[in-house]
Chains A and B, each alone.
Chain A
Amino acid sequence: MTEIFGVPTQALFGQLLIGLINGSFYALLSLGLAVIFGLLNIINFTHGAQYMMGAFVAYLLANKAGLGYWWSLALVPLIVGATGVVIERLMLSKLYKLDHLYGLLLTFGLALIIQGLFRNEYGTSGLPYPMPAELSGGTNLGFMFLPNYRAWVIVASAIVCLGSWFVIEKTKLGSYLRAATENPALVQAFGINVPRMITLTYGFGVALAAFAGVMAAPIYQVSPQMGADLIIVVFAVVVIGGMGSILGSILTGFGLGIIEGLTKVFYPEASNTVIFIIMAIVLMFRPAGLFGAQK
């Protein structure tokens, strides 16, 4: 068997694939953050809590309403996205004239509240969410056993990410959005309802987080803390990619997932710091991030 640095190539393929799966979550979450940041100039600290809410709402739909995974995949982003719309209308919209840091502080506070409430209600050991029957089991690829659900995660998140990119970069709606990012006053003057666009954008970003949450429910434990540490890693992903481009945030997400996966093979002790180390290196040489425009 051929080996690379003492690791069999076959095992390496397996790990690359696994990395890609984790990258899918990073990509979905950092895309949501980038979309929100683009228009609102706010870093959404609640993103991790909203990801968690996605998983929890899926759990509740399954247990209280008897709606399975596929229903959840469609409904949960709408429900959680709607709560996002409420938050934007009631709170965030009051802060646009202030320093952007206040948005960060507000969403941090909201994250504490949401996580605290869920913890009070559901404890911390986590709740089970069943694998959808259609996707249980797995395929033997020869070099690894790939659970069908993981394959689905890659496909689904790639579709959603590329779909979002297409809408933002290639459609008329997207062009309004990009224009409003550059110069909201001018776009408003053209008769486009910018505040409503902002609200819906926030809702959309939140919906992406919730979508990631539903995707995560069958493989990770549904627990109130599931998003708390993840969001910090995603922040680092966003810093590395730079927030300038949508495609950039998607590519960085997938790429860092793979790098992290490789670290788990070659030096597992560093696997949860590797992304931060890369961030430090990128900052040294390209402070604006890999895809960011230097201002």
Chain B
Amino acid sequence: MPRAQKIALAVMAAFFLLAPLAMYPIFLMKAMCFALFACAFNLLIGFGGLLSFGHAMFLGTAGYATAHAAKVWGFPPEFAILFGTACAAVLGLVTGLLAIRRQGIYFAMITLALAQMIYFYYLQAAFTGGEDGIQAVPRGVLFGFIDLSNVWAIYGTVFVIFMAGFLLIYRVIHSPFGQVLKAIRENEPRALSLGYDVNRYKLLAYMLSATLAGLAGATKALVFQLASLTDVHWSMSGEVVLMTLLGGLGTVFGPVVGAFIIISLENYLAQLGAWVTIVQGVIFVICVLTFRRGVIGELGSWLKKPL
């Protein structure tokens, strides 16, 4: 790991460890969940060159599965999260097999359409409670001795999950697998002619991204003790694109910063009401037109060090 990134990692970890002293912990936990979600998404677009416009389906599926397992089946939190994440992985496999058949814009439209199908399914299915959602999900006792109803216990858990997910993504990006992904992104025919099974690499990246997005969704379900349609709706897929774009596509730390900014906006604009979507739209347009490298991308190029 280059020094600049080591410092950035330390700063990030220190921030999330110390911030609860000054900021509201539930807000910070939400930010970490979305940061992990955005990092998972970034793995696909930033390093695989695949823009998914349906990532909400993994977030939401894992959320529903976790909430259902914890509430109805009485799973302890560690298994509920595992179960939710596994569901997202399976969904990633199935939709991935279909979606990777096309590239670029088609890929985006197909993922969007598949996610919409999943949304309608959850809307009608009985176990999701329709627009009521699954409510009052017990957080339970982690490993049999950590009571997650304590705010610091759950905060610590979310922090550990977030850091683990983040480091895993970092590891993947810098592994030989990640290098092949980048090669495919840059020039798919060349990667193919070099003998790489391009589709298998893409599918694996897609599944990995889906799984980690699921992990974020599963954690979020326990933090808020609910699972609802919001997390499967297409506007959530759009939001994660925005977070990653604003933070910096293909940067390591960008999605975390982007998620933090967007969640803060959502939080502080809540008082302003109607302007949330408009502001989001404006950020989209500005990012695309003049700020394509995002916050961290710009910072990195100013420091001349990739972040």
- Report which A residues bind B (CB closer than 8 A): 37, 41-43, 91, 94-95, 98, 100-102, 104-106, 108-117, 119-120, 229, 232-233, 235-236, 238-239, 269, 272-273, 276-277, 279-280, 283-284, 287-288
- Report which B residues bind A (CB closer than 8 A): 51, 53, 98, 101-102, 104-106, 108-110, 112-114, 116-117, 120-121, 124, 234, 238, 241, 245, 274-278, 280-285, 287-289, 292
Task: Please tell me if the beta carbons of A112 and B278 are within 8 angstroms of each other in the complex.
Answer: yes
A236 touches which of B53, B104, B113 (Cβ 8 Å): B113
Assess A106 versus B277: contact at CB under 8 Å? Given A113-B282, A276-B116, A287-B102.
no
Task: Please tell me if the beta carbons of A273 and B281 are within 8 angstroms of each other in the complex.
Answer: no
Assess A113 versus B281: contact at CB under 8 Å? Given A43-B105, A95-B288, A120-B274.
yes
Task: Please tell me if the beta carbons of B278 and A277 are within 8 angstroms of each other in the complex.
Answer: no
Task: Please tell me if the beta carbons of A273 and B112 are within 8 angstroms of each other in the complex.
Answer: no
Shortest Cβ gap from B273 to chain A (Å): 9
Task: Please tell me if the beta carbons of B51 and A101 are within 8 angstroms of each other in the complex.
Answer: yes
Shortest Cβ gap from A38 to chain B (Å): 13
Taking CB as reference atom, which chain B residue is nearest A49? Answer: B281
Task: Please tell me if the beta carbons of A117 and B238 are within 8 angstroms of each other in the complex.
Answer: no
Task: Please tell me if the beta carbons of B278 and A116 are within 8 angstroms of each other in the complex.
Answer: yes
Task: Please tell me if the beta carbons of B109 and A235 are within 8 angstroms of each other in the complex.
Answer: yes
Task: Taking A95-B289, A229-B116, A236-B116 as given, write out 10 further A-B residue pairs in contact, using a Cβ cutoff of 8 Å, ordered by the A residue number.
Answer: A37-B105, A41-B105, A43-B108, A106-B285, A111-B281, A113-B278, A232-B234, A233-B116, A279-B113, A283-B110
Shortest Cβ gap from A199 to chain B (Å): 17
A109 touches which of B102, B120, B283 (Cβ 8 Å): B283
> What DSSP secondary structure best describes chain A's contact surface?
helix
Assess A112 versus B280: contact at CB under 8 Å? Given A232-B112, A269-B124.
yes
Chain A hits for B114, CB < 8 A: 276, 280
Chain B hits for A91, CB < 8 A: 285, 289
Assess A106 versus B101: contact at CB under 8 Å? Given A235-B109, A239-B113, A272-B120.
no
Chain B hits for A95, CB < 8 A: 288-289
A-B contact pairs, 18 of them (CB 8 A): A42-B105, A94-B289, A101-B108, A104-B51, A106-B285, A111-B281, A113-B282, A114-B281, A116-B276, A119-B274, A229-B116, A269-B124, A273-B117, A276-B113, A280-B117, A283-B98, A283-B102, A288-B102
Residue of A91, A235, A287 ringed by the most chain B CB atoms within 10 A: A235
B117 touches which of A120, A229, A238, A277 (Cβ 8 Å): A277
Residue of A91, A283, A288 ringed by the most chain B CB atoms within 10 A: A283
B113 touches which of A108, A232, A269 (Cβ 8 Å): A232
B277 touches which of A37, A115, A272, A273 (Cβ 8 Å): A115
Chain B hits for A236, CB < 8 A: 109, 113, 116
Taking CB as reference atom, which chain A residue is nearest B290? Answer: A94
Assess A239 versus B106: contact at CB under 8 Å? Given A110-B285, A116-B274.
yes
Q: Determine the distance from Cα of A283 to Cα of B110 in the docked complex, in whole angstroms.
A: 9
Shortest Cβ gap from B194 to chain A (Å): 21
Assess A273 versus B121: contact at CB under 8 Å? Given A101-B108, A232-B113.
yes
Chain A hits for B102, CB < 8 A: 239, 283, 287-288
Task: Please tell me if the beta carbons of A101 and B281 are within 8 angstroms of each other in the complex.
Answer: no
Task: Please tell me if the beta carbons of A112 and B109 are within 8 angstroms of each other in the complex.
Answer: no
Chain B hits for A120, CB < 8 A: 274-275, 278
Taking CB as reference atom, which chain B residue is nearest A287? Answer: B101
Nearest first, the 4 A-B pairs at minimum CB distance are: A109-B284, A112-B281, A113-B281, A116-B278
Shortest Cβ gap from B38 to chain A (Å): 15
Task: Please tell me if the beta carbons of B101 and A283 are within 8 angstroms of each other in the complex.
Answer: yes
Chain A hits for B284, CB < 8 A: 105-106, 108-110, 112
